[in-house]
Chain A
Amino acid sequence: DQQVKQNSPSLSVQEGRISILNCDYTNSMFDYFLWYKKYPAEGPTFLISISSIKDKNEDGRFTVFLNKSAKHLSLHIVPSQPGDSAVYFCAASDPHRSGTYKYIFGTGTRLKVLA
């Protein structure tokens, strides 16, 4: 049962244009969301996060939008650059009553930015 879904395995975008990566989740208890970027032969790198009490968070060229009613978040990259070509993972924090939590990751979207 995939609680965090990234339905687009791949995306190609022209350099300079906007890249929009989407993520859907099923559990309304998720309270914190993150995006990680992964290059080949490297571990994932944290990109940006958003708390469930916000609907937008911006960091430079990267903006994450959260729509709680639709259980949907998206990552916008503007303008896209060839160096942004990577696999992007969406993750959600699943809190436990004990005070612990775990991250639930999606399967990733491979972004290719064309020069």
Chain B
Amino acid sequence: DSGVTQTPKHLITATGQRVTLRCSPRSGDLSVYWYQQSLDQGLQFLIQYYNGEERAKGNILERFSAQQFPDLHSELNLSSLELGDSALYFCASSERPGVTDTQYFGPGTRLTVL
């Protein structure tokens, strides 16, 4: 158990809909990262927050947005969903945003868009 929690575990929805994925980092961790893993792909970095502020951005679509709240939990919002958005979405956290700060991953949310 990494200490990072993600809800829900599974999500099934239809094209065009909007969903929110939630992540609670490990106690004491200030930095949160979101990744997408599509079938047979590596983890694609989406976005990073540190203490409530956006720190780094990857290949995140404009239909996707995220935020980190004062209590440090984070939400990833996916809108106008398409079939290709079906994937595993992982959240990770680290104590600080440094490159050598180990990222601890949650168990992921599996999103299925029908």
Contact = CB atoms under 8 A, between A and B. Distances in A.
Interface size class of A (residues with CB under 8 A): 20 to 34
A104 interface: yes
Contact of B56 (A32, A49, A96, A107): A96
A108 B44 CA distance: 12
Interface string B87-100: 00010100001011
B42 A49 contact: no
B100 A43 contact: no
30 contacts: A6-B42, A31-B99, A32-B99, A32-B100, A36-B105, A41-B107, A43-B90, A43-B106, A43-B107, A44-B105, A45-B2, A45-B105, A46-B102, A46-B104, A49-B100, A51-B100, A91-B43, A96-B56, A100-B55, A100-B97, A101-B56, A102-B56, A102-B58, A103-B43, A103-B45, A104-B42, A104-B45, A106-B42, A107-B41, A107-B42
